[in-house]
Structure formats: C-alpha cells, structure tokens
Structure 1
C-alpha cells in the first residue's frame, strides 16, 4: 500500500490549537460579592436617611418591616437553609415579646437588658423543643410546630398575674437619649435598624462557616450528609434554636416599638403569615427575609385599603399572583432581572476590551 505523506493528512486529524483566552473586562472583575456589598451599602445608606424625611407613621411602618425581617431571618434558617417545615414561629416571637414586656413591667428592667435575656430564653426553649420535634419530618413536623403556635395564645391568657391575661400589658416606650437629638419614632427606628444589621451579619457569618455547610448538606440530602459525618440531630436542633432566638429578638424589639403586648396579637395566623412572607420573599436567599418583611408589613394594609370587607381574600390573591409571577420569590425575580440587565453590560465591556 502506498504510504500517505504527512502533507496529505486530513485537516481534521491535525491537533487543534488552544484557543486564545479572551481578555477579562473590568466589569467581570467586579465579582458578585462586591456587587452584593455595594447593594448592601446603598440600602443601609437609604435606611439611615429615611427617618429624617418620612412622617412618623411611615417611620414606624419601616421599623415594623425590619422587625418582621429579623423573624423571617430566623425562619429562613429552618425552612430555607435546613429544609424543615415550621408553622410555629409566631410562638417564639410571642415568647420574646412577653419576656421583654414582663421584665420591663414587673421588674423595671432597662429595655436594653431585655434583649439578651429574651434571646437566651428563646434559645433555651427552642433548643429543648428542637430535640424531640426535629426527629420528625415533613408534615409531621409541620403539625407539631403548628400545635405549638395554637396553644401559645391560651397559655398566655392562663397566667394573667404575669402576662396580664387577655388585656395584655401596656409599657412605656424607650426614650431617646438627649445627646442624639432624635424624636421618639426615629430613636425606635434606629434601634430596630441596628438590631437588624447585627442579626443579618451574624447569620451571614454562620452560613459561611462549617455549620452553614452542614445545614445546607442536610437540606440537599440527609442520607448523604449523614454518610459524610454530619450529625443530623445536632445541627437540626441548633438551627431550630437559633431560629427561635432570632424570633425572640424580633419579639423583644416589637415590644419596644409597640409598647403593648396581648395574646391575640400572636395568634396562629401570625405564624402562617410569616411563612407566607418568607416564601414570597425567597426561601434560602439573603434578601428573602428583607423582601418578606416588607411584604408582611405592607401587603395586608394594601389589601385592607382595596377591600375592607374581605382583606384576607385580597391578601391571598396577591400571594397567588406573586407566586405565579415569581415561583422562586421576589429575591429570585430580582436576581433574574439583574442578570438579564447585566448581560448587555458584560457584552459592552468585552467589546471595549478588544
């Protein structure tokens, strides 16, 4: 047979040359983390400026939205990051609120001291309940946590010597220090803002640690996580306790802002509303609790303005509409919009780089 010369070898058989890497544009060098922290800085700056321009009632509403965001941040630990279902978060919210109220009313405790006490009480109770409760899964866990929310209101009414019974407790609002020059509503707003920022930073640090990787592994696949050495009961119980702690912190700040607590304010509908707010905001996302807190605060009022006869119907329809338009929550919708807007910028940056 005639030998085929090297020059006659088909072009397809020749080794392909490595492609020349495209130069990285300055836009791509700005990582997602830098954009995230830039957005955080902008939001915090607007939040610090807002109470000086808004009316007192609007300032109060924003403070309440941040309180709900703290509670949803804790609920997100259990539902969004650990993959469990909890319908009893309102009970821990009530426990933190009443802990602060009783301390201030019965023992004249300074209001700043009530925050760590409320956090400690809810952590201990959440840890104690988490040991047996989180051995359950799915609907069984949801049913047990729902039962916690159901018996909370009658329990608060039962000990009327301490909790004030059905009448509740009326408290004095924290007064701003003279050196701040702030009005009462502004001072309460900044207390809520400072507490919210601290809680979000703490949770962000936990989720980036080994503990965060463990709870994410549990959420993704419990069997695989256990094979890799993750102690399921330990991390589930810790997540439940931390979730209860954040709900207690939110309840404590709620007591400062509202200056009144009653059992009917913490009915089982609060737990369901918090879960709905988290799902609407975005499960397992960083901005989901913030958007969910705004949703829980403003949408029921908006539904009341639309139809005072059946606000719950309007509220439910709005939840359905949001879930239809944004199945992954408002945070997921915002993320998709940001990525679509970023594509033309990246293309333009690559063109300029060439």
Structure 2
C-alpha cells in the first residue's frame, strides 16, 4: 500500500513537471509582448529571491541588501555591453564580482554576534545609490544607463520579447536546479544544522562561520545574476535599481512565498511582479498598502508562506476525516542531519 502510494506520488510529480515544462515552453508563443515581459520579470525576481532564500531561509541569517547586488549585476552588465565585451565574459564577471563583494561584506560581518549582517546589508543600498550617482562616466549618474542587447537572432524566427523570455527563463531554471541540488545535498544539510543550532553544529565539527559566509556569497552571486537578467529584460538600469525599498519588497516576497523552499522563491517572484500590477488596476497610489495587507493576511493564515497551503489543506482534511496525525517530529532531526553531513 505504501509503495503504491509513493509510486503514485512520483508519477504525479513527473506528470506535473512535464505539464509545467510544456506550459512554460509554449506560453511566450501564444501570449502578448506585455504578458511575456511580465513572465520574464517573474523569472528575474524569483532568482533574486532564491538567492535571498539561500542565506535567510536555509542558513538562517538576515540580509536586507539584496537590491544592491541586483543593481551591481545590472551595472556590470550595462558597462560590459556598452563597451562591447563578449557577453559570456560579462556574465562571468557578474558572477565573480558579485560573489567577491559578498565575501568582502560577509567575512568581517559574520565574525560579529547578533544581527551584524543585517545591519551591514541594511547599509549597502544606502551607500550604493550615492556611489552610482558619483561616477557618471561608469554608471551614467542619476540618468542611468540604457543599452540595446539580447535581440532575437534572425535564424530563430522569434520576436524580441519571446527570445528574451526563453534566454532568461533557461538561465533561471539552471540556477534553480543548482540551488535545489545544493540545498538537498551535503551543503544544504550543513546550512540546516547551522540555522537550527550553532552549538550542535560546532560539536559536530561543522564551521558555522564558514557556511554562513558560503551562504551569503551564493546569495550575492544569485543577486548579481538576477541583475544581469534584469538588464536583459528592461535594457535600462539606474540608481533606483539599488533602492532599499526594493530590498525590503524582496524580503516580503520571500516571506509570502515561503522561506526554506525552492518553490516558495518562485511564488515570491510571482507575488513581487503580479500584486503591484493588480493593485495598480485599483489604485496605483496605494500599491504599498495592498502589498502590506497581502503580507499580513498570508502571515496570519499561513505563517509558513503560500508554499505551505497544500500541506495546510491536507492537515485540515485529515482532522475533519478523524484520521490520527502521523507520529514523529516535524522536520529533520538535527543529529541525523549532522551524521549525513
């Protein structure tokens, strides 16, 4: 009975994955340029939120400066495109520089106790905006930088919006797959132990400091790649890309989607893009109020984020049917996880 149930679940997951893949592949061919642009932006911000999820949801640290890394990636890309650098080289530089900046921030901050990382990352967008305005020869100053790239090659037969959608979604999918393998593997188990109990991690020979630094560097790298993709979708960046409000909205979207969940990052990206659009249909000046209200409602009804809605529904149905709840503690045991590491 149990084997049949597990087999059916695997079949359903594979079927669901195939259906989703077909929908993602076909969507830009049957949608308008506007819809394709919004879908592309969901992929961009889902990647930025996924990076935030690695450091907050999986490693248990607080980061409030993800917009700074998104803006950094966008500016590096804009500078590279403007100077006709090979796009592959530009992408590699975005990954490398973003990760290095993340290391430079994390190495001293994470040696301090308490919320030092949160305070340091809080300052990143505040410092980055005047810096971007101070060097107009590199960043375009307050006017920002407009570029023209990622146009559809003639041999594809695709429109520009369709080509950009495919490129950005494929890159996003690759990084999502990498993150999934990371958090479900040895490093992910170490993250979980450090997040749940640093004393236990130390007793098991796991360096909390090392894994916190790794998590933040990966988060910065993901933010930089999101900036690279953002410029591909929007073709423009300015100091407003570094705005602290964007960083806070990314954190809110992560919480709404669900921390410690790959799927939650994707839901958070959809929330980040779709809710302001819907709110704008009602009253564009009240977008922040709508977003804040949505955050409060989600936290009150499903504190674990929207990704936990199916499990909440299943538990509710079990209670109504009178079936006893399965025994055992929720989540993985810290000791067994440590042994796996």
Same fold at TM > 0.5: yes
For residues 342 and 28 of structure 1, the distance between their equivalents in structure 2, rounded to whole angstroms, comes to: 18
Hey, what does 2:192 align to over in structure 1?
216
Asked if structure 2 preserves the Cα contact closer than 8 Å seen for 1:281 and 1:289, the reply is yes
For residues 103 and 330 of structure 1, the distance between their equivalents in structure 2, rounded to whole angstroms, comes to: 38
Counterparts of 1:134-173 in structure 2, within 5 Å, are 134-173=110-149
Larger deviation: 185-194 or 305-314?
305-314
Structure 1 pair 53–145 and aligned structure 2 pair: CA distance change class (3 A): same
Asked if structure 2 preserves the Cα contact closer than 8 Å seen for 1:111 and 1:256, the reply is no
Deviation of 1:297 after TM superposition, in Å, equals 0.5
Larger deviation: 321-330 or 91-100?
321-330
Asked if structure 1 preserves the Cα contact closer than 8 Å seen for 2:67 and 2:241, the reply is no
For residues 113 and 274 of structure 2, the distance between their equivalents in structure 1, rounded to whole angstroms, comes to: 33
Asked if structure 2 preserves the Cα contact closer than 8 Å seen for 1:90 and 1:268, the reply is yes
Structure 1 pair 112–60 and aligned structure 2 pair: CA distance change class (3 A): farther
In angstroms, what is the RMSD of aligned CA positions? Answer: 2.1
Deviation of 1:269 after TM superposition, in Å, equals 0.4
Deviation of 1:136 after TM superposition, in Å, equals 3.5
SS of the residue corresponding to residue 248 of structure 1 reads helix
Deviation of 1:137 after TM superposition, in Å, equals 4.5
Q: In the alignment, does 2:94 pair up with 1:118?
A: yes
Deviations 1:283-312 (A, max 9, x none): 001211100000000111222222233221
Hey, what does 1:264 align to over in structure 2?
240
Tell me which of 72, 75, 83 is aligned to 1:95.
72
Tell me which of 172, 176, 187 is aligned to 1:196.
172
SS of the residue corresponding to residue 284 of structure 2 reads coil
TM superposition score normalised by structure 1: 0.85
Asked if structure 2 preserves the Cα contact closer than 8 Å seen for 1:307 and 1:314, the reply is no
For residues 240 and 280 of structure 1, the distance between their equivalents in structure 2, rounded to whole angstroms, comes to: 21
Structure 1 pair 216–134 and aligned structure 2 pair: CA distance change class (3 A): same
Asked if structure 2 preserves the Cα contact closer than 8 Å seen for 1:85 and 1:138, the reply is no
Deviation of 1:65 after TM superposition, in Å, equals 0.4
Deviation of 1:256 after TM superposition, in Å, equals 0.9
Q: How many correspondences in the alignment?
A: 321
Unaligned regions of 5+ residues in structure 1, if any? Answer: 1-22, 348-354
Asked if structure 2 preserves the Cα contact closer than 8 Å seen for 1:323 and 1:329, the reply is yes
